Amino acid sequence: MNDEPARPIVLFVDDEDNILKALQRLTMDEEFDTEIANSGDAALRKLTTLQDVALIVSDQRMPGMNGAEFLQQSRQLAPDAIRMLLTGYSDISAAADAINKGGASRYLNKPWQDEDLLQTLRGAVETWRLSSENKRLQVIVQAQNEELKQWNENLKNRVLQQTTAIRKKADDLNEALIQLKHNYNGIISAFSNLVEMQGQRMQQHARNVAELATSAAREYGLMPEEIEIIRTAALLHDIGEIGIPDRVLEKSQEYMTQDDLQLYSQHPVRGQMAIDSIVDLRPAGVLIRHHHENYNGTGFPDRLKGDQIPIGARILAYADQLDRAVANGGDTAEQALARVELGLSIKLDPGLQRVFRKIARYAYFTMPEVDPNATVELELRPEELRNGMLLTRDVLSGTGLMLLNKGVTLDAVKIEAIQRYYQLDPPQRGIWALVHQR
Tell me how far apart the alpha carbons of residues 231 and 284 are, in angstroms, rounded to a whole number: 8
Tell me how far apart the alpha carbons of residues 70 and 209 are, in angstroms, rounded to a whole number: 47
Contacts of 11 (CB under 8 A, 6+ apart): 35, 36, 37, 43, 46, 47, 50, 53, 55, 56, 57, 81
Boundaries of domain holding 43: 9-125
The answer to whether residues 347 and 372 touch, using CB atoms and an 8 Å cutoff, is no
The residue out of 109, 125, 141 marking a domain boundary is: 125
How many separate domains does the chain show? 3
Question: Using alpha carbons only, what angle is made at residue 380 by residues 206 and 185, rounded to the nearest 5 degrees?
Answer: 30
Q: Does 244 lie in the same domain as 288?
A: yes
pTM score of the predicted model: 0.48
Sheet of strand 375-380, all strands in order from the earlier edge strand to the far edge: 375-380, 431-436, 390-391
Q: What's the pLDDT at 370?
A: 44
Q: Does 195 lie in the same domain as 121?
A: no
Helix (H, G, I), strand (E, B) or coil at 311: helix
Q: How far is CA 317 from the centre of its chain?
A: 20
Tell me whether residue 170 is in a domain: no
Q: What is the domain-level CATH number for residue 28?
A: 3.40.50.2300
The residue out of 339, 363, 387 marking a domain boundary is: 363
Q: What is the domain-level CATH number for residue 225?
A: 1.10.3210.10
380: how many CB neighbours lie within 10 A of its CB?
15
The residue out of 332, 363, 394 marking a domain boundary is: 363
Tell me whether residue 149 is in a domain: no
Q: Quick one: residue 103, left, alpha or beta (phi over 0 = left, psi -120 to 50 = alpha)?
A: left
Q: How far is CA 375 from the centre of its chain?
A: 40
Taking Cα atoms as reference points, which of 183, 219, 190, 218 lies closest to residue 206? 190
Tell me whether residue 3 is in a domain: no
Tell me whether residue 142 is in a domain: no
- Average pLDDT of each block of 10 consecutive residues along the chain (438 residues)? 72 94 93 93 94 91 88 91 80 65 75 91 91 86 78 68 79 71 67 62 77 93 95 91 84 83 91 90 95 94 95 95 75 71 88 89 52 68 88 87 86 90 87 74
Q: What is the domain-level CATH number for residue 411?
A: 3.90.105
DSSP, residue by residue, 323-385: HHHHHHHT--HHHHHHHHGGGBTTTB-GGGHHHHHHHHHHHS--PPP--TTTEEEEEE-GGG-
Q: Does 301 lie in the same domain as 265?
A: yes
Please report how many Cα atoms fall inside a 13 Å half-sphere around the Cα of residue 35, on the Cβ side.
21
117: how many CB neighbours lie within 10 A of its CB?
18
Residues forming beta bridges with residue 376, ordered by sequence position? 435
- Give the sign of the dihedral formed by CA 407, CA 409, CA 414, CA 415: positive
Q: Does 197 lie in the same domain as 319?
A: yes
Contacts of 16 (CB under 8 A, 6+ apart): 59
Cα–Cα distances in Å, from 411 out to 102, 385, 388, 408? Answer: 47, 9, 6, 9
Contacts of 170 (CB under 8 A, 6+ apart): none
Q: Does 426 lie in the same domain as 304?
A: no
Tell me how far apart the alpha carbons of residues 188 and 182 are, in angstroms, rounded to a whole number: 10
Strands 402-404 and 395-396: antiparallel
Tell me whether residue 165 is in a domain: no
Contacts of 380 (CB under 8 A, 6+ apart): 389, 430, 431, 432, 433, 435
Q: Does 307 lie in the same domain as 200?
A: yes
Tell me whether residue 37 is in a domain: yes
Tell me whether residue 289 is in a domain: yes
Residues forming beta bridges with residue 53, ordered by sequence position? 9
Helix (H, G, I), strand (E, B) or coil at 35: strand
Q: Does 330 lie in the same domain as 432?
A: no
Q: Does 101 lie in the same domain as 77?
A: yes
| Total residue count of the chain as it appears in this document | 438
Tell me whether residue 196 is in a domain: yes
Q: Does 399 lie in the same domain as 289?
A: no
The answer to whether residues 425 and 397 touch, using CB atoms and an 8 Å cutoff, is yes
Q: Does 406 lie in the same domain as 261?
A: no
Q: Does 190 lie in the same domain as 334?
A: yes
Tell me how far apart the alpha carbons of residues 48 and 42 are, in angstroms, rounded to a whole number: 10
Q: Does 383 lie in the same domain as 344?
A: no
The answer to whether residues 246 and 232 touch, using CB atoms and an 8 Å cutoff, is no
